[in-house]
Amino acid sequence: MRHAGRDLRSSRAGRRSNGELADRGVIVAELDDTMDSGQTSRTFYAALGASALAGRTSDEKTRWVLQDLEPLLQKEKRWLDVGCGYGRLAVPLASRGYQVTGIDISPNLIGAARAYAREQRASPAFDVGDMRELPYPSGSFGGIYCLWAAFNELTTRKDQRLAIRSMLRVLESGGSAFLDLATYREASAVRIDRRTRRVRMEVSGLTHQAYLHDRQTLVRLMEDCGVDDYSVRLKAFGGRQRLLLTFARSEGRVARRRPPVRPPPR
């Protein structure tokens, strides 16, 4: 894996000013910053429901994602699907022989995932849980994937750091995580907070919140978590343009935040 300093691609989204976003139909405004990321997601998906969530994609789009994801996986490893939803990816991957555990903060989506697995006679494990505090022993998984912009739903930098550190902890030494994140290009008539980068959008008549990442925010996140082995790229994945973050747990250690660099005494 290449270090981001040599692997970063130019990202127009990362260079857009708020004025330019407004010119593209993206409305910049102040948002309420009081709700917890986890509670926001639980409330949203309880109201949306698994059927409506599934209706926002298609079998063809799922095939495109699997086509791009499978080359990154190895069947001999245990994989954690973070933000697995109704089992959209975990169930077909388990049917193909992958060892997959899915976790999601939404109880109703996990219930739908278990029903989907029974229907398909697949055997992935599913758990209700929070990516900020994954309920597994250290070193439990050979790899992690977190797709469908699930990581964007962590709307504070504190929550983002907690989730990255939690993923690092449950990875085995040398294991890696792969995240795909949405860019503003996918949204229409969204509201963006200038200070917090929070995004508010309407989904099936419901209000949903997310965090607008770019390559700079992800590089800073990796630095905050003490991760040296990572890459950030803007490229096509699953049939659409995505911001892709890959990082690895270094051999024999879980990354911690680096202490600040102090200037030498004069």
User: Where do the domains of the chain lie?
Assistant: 4-248
The pLDDT, as a whole number, for residue 81 is 99
21 pLDDT band, cuts 50/70/90, is very low
The pLDDT, as a whole number, for residue 186 is 46
On whether the CB atoms of residues 204 and 48 are closer than 8 A, the answer is yes
d(C-alpha 185, C-alpha 50), whole Å: 25
CB atoms closer than 10 angstroms to residue 11: 18
The pLDDT, as a whole number, for residue 191 is 76
The pLDDT, as a whole number, for residue 260 is 38
Give whole-number Cα distances, 140 to 19, 38, 99, 226, in Å.
45, 23, 12, 21
On whether the CB atoms of residues 115 and 91 are closer than 8 A, the answer is no
Instruction: Kindly report the average pLDDT of the chain as a whole number.
Output: 83
d(C-alpha 226, C-alpha 219), whole Å: 11
For the segment 72-99, the average pLDDT, to the nearest whole number, is 97
What is the dihedral angle through the alpha carbons of 263, 220, 106, 124, rounded to the nearest 10 degrees?
Answer: -110
51-54 long-range contacts (CB < 8 A, ≥24 apart) are 52/204, 53/85, 53/86, 53/109, 54/86, 54/88
CB atoms closer than 10 angstroms to residue 91: 26
d(C-alpha 149, C-alpha 183), whole Å: 9
Phi/psi of residue 244, each to 5°?
-110, 125
Which span out of 21-25, 51-55, 159-163, 261-265 was modeled with the highest average pLDDT? 159-163
Rounded to two decimals, the pTM is: 0.80
User: Mind listing the pLDDT tens digit for each residue in 40-51?
Assistant: 888 888 888 898
On whether the CB atoms of residues 159 and 196 are closer than 8 A, the answer is no
Residue located via tokens 């040296």:
228
Q: Which amino acid is at 154?
A: L
Strands (DSSP E) found in the chain: 27-28, 78-82, 99-104, 125-128, 141-146, 171-181, 191-192, 198-203, 206-211, 230-237, 240-248
On whether the CB atoms of residues 99 and 79 are closer than 8 A, the answer is yes
Q: Look at 171 and 55; give whichever has higher pLDDT.
A: 171
d(C-alpha 242, C-alpha 184), whole Å: 10
On whether the CB atoms of residues 68 and 91 are closer than 8 A, the answer is no
d(C-alpha 178, C-alpha 146), whole Å: 6
CATH number of 4-248: 3.40.50.150
185 pLDDT exceeds 70? no
User: Mind listing the pLDDT tens digit for each residue in 202-260?
Assistant: 777 788 889 999 999 999 999 999 999 999 999 999 999 999 999 999 875 554 444 33
